[in-house]
Structure 1
Amino acid sequence: MTLHDDAAYQALTARDARFDGRLFVGVTSTGIYCRPVCRVRLPRRENCRFFVNAALAESNGFRPCMRCRPEMAPGLSLNDSSQVLAQQAALMLAQAAHDGLDPPLPEVAARLGVTDRHLRRIFMQAHGVTPIDYLTTQRLLLAKHLLTDTGLPVTQVALATGYASLRRFNAAFAERYRMSPTALRRERNDEGPTAADTVPTVRLAYRPPYDLPGVLAFFANRAIDGVEAVEGLNVRRTLSLIHRGQVLAGWVEARFVPARHELHLSVAPALVPALGAVVQRVRQCLDLDADPSQVDPVLALVPGALREGVRLPSGLDGFEIAVRVILGQQVTVAAARTLTRRLVERFGEALATPFPALHRLFPSAQALAAADPEVIGKLGIVRQRVRALQALATEVAAGRLVLHRAAPLLATLEALQALPGIGAWSAQLIAMRALAWPDAWPASDIGILNALGTRDIKLATEQAEAWRPWRAYAVMKLWLNLEPA
């Protein structure tokens, strides 16, 4: 979304949350840049400079506001515009920053199928900064987020954001923000978190409107006993991930605060070293980066009652999502839920949590790849699904298949459909929910056809052409029309 300066100033004047993360304002009289929702006194029009991303504001010498905290703003939402390659690269860099990694640019370019020179050119055209500047901004904003919302020691914050040495981290932070990390921490409210806090909570923003009833109902109708639970405005679940070669396991709690357009995310102490990665996974899981101003006008064309702020709920682990898609082949949602529960009870590890409803992890790719096929079959899973599950698990466990929104779409779809038992329907659903691809279209889905009142797949696909590039959101709206509240 690009605004002329006058329109941008109007959004700032109205403190319009719809432009959060799509618009930043630098104030020349203070040297600070803010989100459009900032509650400080409105700056004079002649003192405002407007930017489409935080990295561009910082490259022009502005520092992030301490009050509105640009690091909390929603991030990128993919579409099929001419800038999609640059957007995909930005997602990869953001993913790397939150995972504490430092990927060489030629590696990122190779994953996208272009040269690093071409990537630099299109990235500069789309975002106004170099990929390295963008990565640096993502890292330092994550560091600011962790320093402000958690009591993590500065050394751990440096490691979590990809800095191998504390000296380099301090120097980069001071150069960009004109203060040291410890000085930023001293400026926090005295009631802020300390190193003694065992359960850190970070605040994340989203753009309104947000279809909270739809998202909560979607998760509640598919929740697996022991792994997930929905209670009021809280979504809780267990999570295991590999961070810097180490397996971490714990729980995650996401609490919606609709009045503030925020999500308050708490994690188990065991997951704190990977907090940045968890934040990225939660943003994808709850689709916090979606831009309803682009999606909703298209969804108005989709049959069914008007539904604002539809999101693409997914999960915290791409492998788990893909497994659940396979188990959902040619069965009802309830039947898929039963099969998934049996798989979790047989192969998922026990986990102690403070929540009675959460006590087991979803099975790892390594566990399912090594499992006896006959044992899996005894759970009521047919042989073809068993082959598909273990082929998928083998590829993920070996690192040959990566399933998250920063993964290259076409290459991942090809790799999925090369596996036994994974056809176009499954691949498109995995693209929709694990890769967060907004134009995914599982054409043969029975729910879609039922909602459209047809059995003609070709006719349904032709009708869906008008919903590009947001067909996956259209799928979600059609599904929600059929689901119990």
Structure 2
Amino acid sequence: MDDRAAVELLPEIDGGSLNADEARRRALYAAFAAGDARFDGQVFVGVSSTGVYCRSVCSARMPKFENCTFYRTPAEAEEAGFRPCMICRPEVAPCHAPVDAQASLARRAADLLRVECAAGDGLPRLAARLGYTDRHLRRAFEREFHVTPAQYVRTCRLLLAKSLLTDSRLPVAQVARAAGFGSVRRFNQVFREQYRMTPTDLRKRRRAPASEGEGITVRLGYRAPYRFDLLLRFFAMRQLEGVELVDGSSYARTARIPLPDGGEARGWVRVSDDPQRHSLVVTMSDTLIECVPQVCARIRRQFDLDSDPQAIYEGIRSLDEVVPGAAVAGTRVPGCFDSFETACRAVLGQQVTVVAANRFAGRIAATYGAPIDNGVEGLSLAFPSPAEVLALDDVEEAFGVLGVIRSRSRTIVELARLIEAGEVTLGAGAVVEDEMRRLLAVRGIGPWSANYLAMRTLCHPDAFMETDAGVAHALPDLSPRERAALAERWRPWRSYVNVCLWNSLSGD
């Protein structure tokens, strides 16, 4: 069975054991032999002759079929006794790609566990956030991933530590802290038990760090092709002075991340592309050491690292019949780093140009944002948080002097209240359909804004904005109703159609 047959088995893989039958195993083996990037991060291969597990794109010598076992997650492979390959580095593999709005409970829990793996949140608290009992969550998680949530978190921590040991110059004690281990002794013990070497042993065998400068560096993998240039152009058009910096090769911004003790970590993040190794190089200030998983998760979502470009391109390639050249393989949907910042900008951008929205958002950041002393020229502000907006005496008056009309100010205040109260969630673990209903109940949030926020803050792949000015410009001969009807053929990838239409206006 060839690798095309293996790809056709992906829906089956997504719902059950990878080793259920011989035909499936041979299909996966064929994809592994071909180095098929479409499986990267979705299937991991345990090799009994070496004791390691690999990504589908591993360049090591091909093992025999009878020595291969297939797993859906690194945690499952590690529970079976395999350790990560030093060549293909499973810790930088992209994660499962979102496909529908109603993600499974286990998938949403996995997203949160990956983000919070260093925070030490217990399962009961996580279950409460998702609206279930911890017993029900545990059963759903084990049924989907074949490991317990605790085992999954342990693997997340170990893989994060392995990445930091390989790509950064952090001392082992700081690596242990950043990865969420309570002590260096416990870190050494777990690392030795799982990987049959100490952290120091691994560091001796590592490659040279990705960055020789200051800060903490990690790599985040993606499935090729990847149009990093188009993402940079999108962010460059919308960059906020003092908050973001975009040049021809990198994106940088300030960051403020809440800490479990109620405090806040502040610093900077820079992102650049390494196309030869199919990964982004993410460097962050040392001040963010306590929230490395959260920063990485935000960058994954902002740069759409977990999507499947081959499946998406196959789903939208007929767009070229309508707008020649618009469907570009490797196009990503731009997400966001700070969901409230993006929500405010969406509100400010209603019925005005991108330039005008930038101007209003920039004034808010300059007047009411939190100053950040990064020592990085051009990065000195963080956009105000929901709590800071709510603390203003009269938001309508405060924003009014900056040129923001009262109706927009009232919508921003209501969004801040809902987010601060936990009644609206714009991030990992959310159910898109539920959050869109809540957004549409907010006065001043219509279908365009709700779909835009679903696309950018909730990583929803199937949002479409038929009334958007750019979409209208790209499809000038159609009414909004006709555009919406036309877009039905591109489900569940309509967010990517939006982006391709926007990009087509610039000639790419």
Q: If the length of structure 2 is used for normalisation, what is the TM-score?
A: 0.86
Which residue of structure 1 aligns with residue 251 of structure 2?
235
1:443 shift after superposition = 4.2
Amino acid corresponding to residue 437 of structure 1 in structure 2 = H
1:71 shift after superposition = 0.5
Query: Over aligned residue pairs, what C-alpha RMSD do you find?
Result: 2.7
Which residue of structure 2 aligns with residue 415 of structure 1?
438
Q: After superposition, what is the alpha-carbon deviation per residue over 1:212-248, rounded to whole angstroms, capped at 9, x for unaligned? A: 2321211111112222222122111111221232222
1:62 shift after superposition = 0.7
Say if 1:399 and 1:82 are closer, same or farther in 2 by CA, change over 3 A.
closer
| SS of residue matched to 2:381 | coil
Which residue of structure 2 aligns with residue 377 of structure 1?
400
Which residue of structure 1 aligns with residue 222 of structure 2?
206
1:479 shift after superposition = 1.9
Say if 1:183 and 1:193 are closer, same or farther in 2 by CA, change over 3 A.
farther
Amino acid corresponding to residue 55 of structure 1 in structure 2 = A
From 222, 234, 251, the equivalent of 2:238 is 222
From 112, 119, 124, the equivalent of 1:100 is 119
Query: Contact 2:102/2:431 (CA < 8 Å) preserved in 1?
Result: no
1:114 shift after superposition = 4.8
* Structure 1 stretch displaced more, 315-324 or 465-474: 465-474
Which residue of structure 2 aligns with residue 267 of structure 1?
284
* Structure 1 stretch displaced more, 386-395 or 449-458: 449-458
Which residue of structure 2 aligns with residue 288 of structure 1?
305
Which residue of structure 2 aligns with residue 323 of structure 1?
344
Question: Would you say 1:21 and 2:41 are equivalent positions?
Answer: yes
Say if 1:155 and 1:437 are closer, same or farther in 2 by CA, change over 3 A.
same
Query: Contact 1:111/1:408 (CA < 8 Å) preserved in 2?
Result: no
Amino acid corresponding to residue 89 of structure 2 in structure 1 = R
1:109 shift after superposition = 4.2
Question: Would you say 1:157 and 2:175 are equivalent positions?
Answer: yes
Q: After superposition, what is the alpha-carbon deviation per residue over 1:116-173, rounded to whole angstroms, capped at 9, x for unaligned? A: 5554454344333333332322222112222322233444433433334444444433
Q: Which stretches in structure 2 are left out of the alignment for 5+ residues?
A: 1-9, 19-23
Amino acid corresponding to residue 216 of structure 2 in structure 1 = P
1:467 shift after superposition = 1.6
Say if 1:233 and 1:192 are closer, same or farther in 2 by CA, change over 3 A.
closer
Q: After superposition, what is the alpha-carbon deviation per residue over 1:393-448, rounded to whole angstroms, capped at 9, x for unaligned? A: 23334455432132233443343334332233222211111111112234433333
Query: Contact 1:78/1:88 (CA < 8 Å) preserved in 2?
Result: no
| SS of residue matched to 1:300 | helix
Which residue of structure 1 aligns with residue 385 of structure 2?
364
Paired residues, what number? 481
Query: Contact 1:454/1:460 (CA < 8 Å) preserved in 2?
Result: no
Say if 1:114 and 1:243 are closer, same or farther in 2 by CA, change over 3 A.
closer
Query: Contact 2:210/2:281 (CA < 8 Å) preserved in 1?
Result: no
Q: After superposition, what is the alpha-carbon deviation per residue over 1:241-296, rounded to whole angstroms, capped at 9, x for unaligned? A: 21232222221111111222111111112222212211111111111111112211
Q: Which stretches in structure 1 are left out of the alignment for 5+ residues?
A: none
Which residue of structure 2 aligns with residue 452 of structure 1?
475
1:320 shift after superposition = 0.9
Which residue of structure 2 aligns with residue 426 of structure 1?
449
1:115 shift after superposition = 5.1
From 51, 59, 75, the equivalent of 1:55 is 75
From 87, 96, 100, the equivalent of 1:67 is 87
1:83 shift after superposition = 6.3
Q: How many angstroms apart in 2 are the aligned matches of 1:115 and 1:166?
A: 33
Q: How many angstroms apart in 2 are the aligned matches of 1:130 and 1:27?
A: 23
Query: Contact 1:94/1:138 (CA < 8 Å) preserved in 2?
Result: yes
Stretches (4+) displaced over 6 A:
none
Q: How many angstroms apart in 2 are the aligned matches of 1:378 and 1:25?
A: 60
Which residue of structure 1 aligns with residue 6 of structure 2?
none
* Structure 1 stretch displaced more, 288-297 or 408-417: 408-417
Query: Contact 1:384/1:421 (CA < 8 Å) preserved in 2?
Result: yes
1:175 shift after superposition = 2.9
* Structure 1 stretch displaced more, 438-447 or 474-483: 438-447
Query: Contact 1:78/1:87 (CA < 8 Å) preserved in 2?
Result: no
Amino acid corresponding to residue 273 of structure 2 in structure 1 = F
Query: Contact 2:39/2:56 (CA < 8 Å) preserved in 1?
Result: yes
From 225, 248, 269, the equivalent of 1:252 is 269
Q: How many angstroms apart in 1 are the aligned matches of 2:27 and 2:371?
A: 54
Amino acid corresponding to residue 149 of structure 1 in structure 2 = D
* Structure 1 stretch displaced more, 28-37 or 196-205: 196-205
| SS of residue matched to 2:489 | helix
1:484 shift after superposition = 6.7
Say if 1:353 and 1:109 are closer, same or farther in 2 by CA, change over 3 A.
closer
Amino acid corresponding to residue 91 of structure 2 in structure 1 = E
Q: If the length of structure 1 is used for normalisation, what is the TM-score?
A: 0.90
Say if 1:126 and 1:300 are closer, same or farther in 2 by CA, change over 3 A.
farther
1:68 shift after superposition = 1.9
Query: Contact 1:239/1:362 (CA < 8 Å) preserved in 2?
Result: no
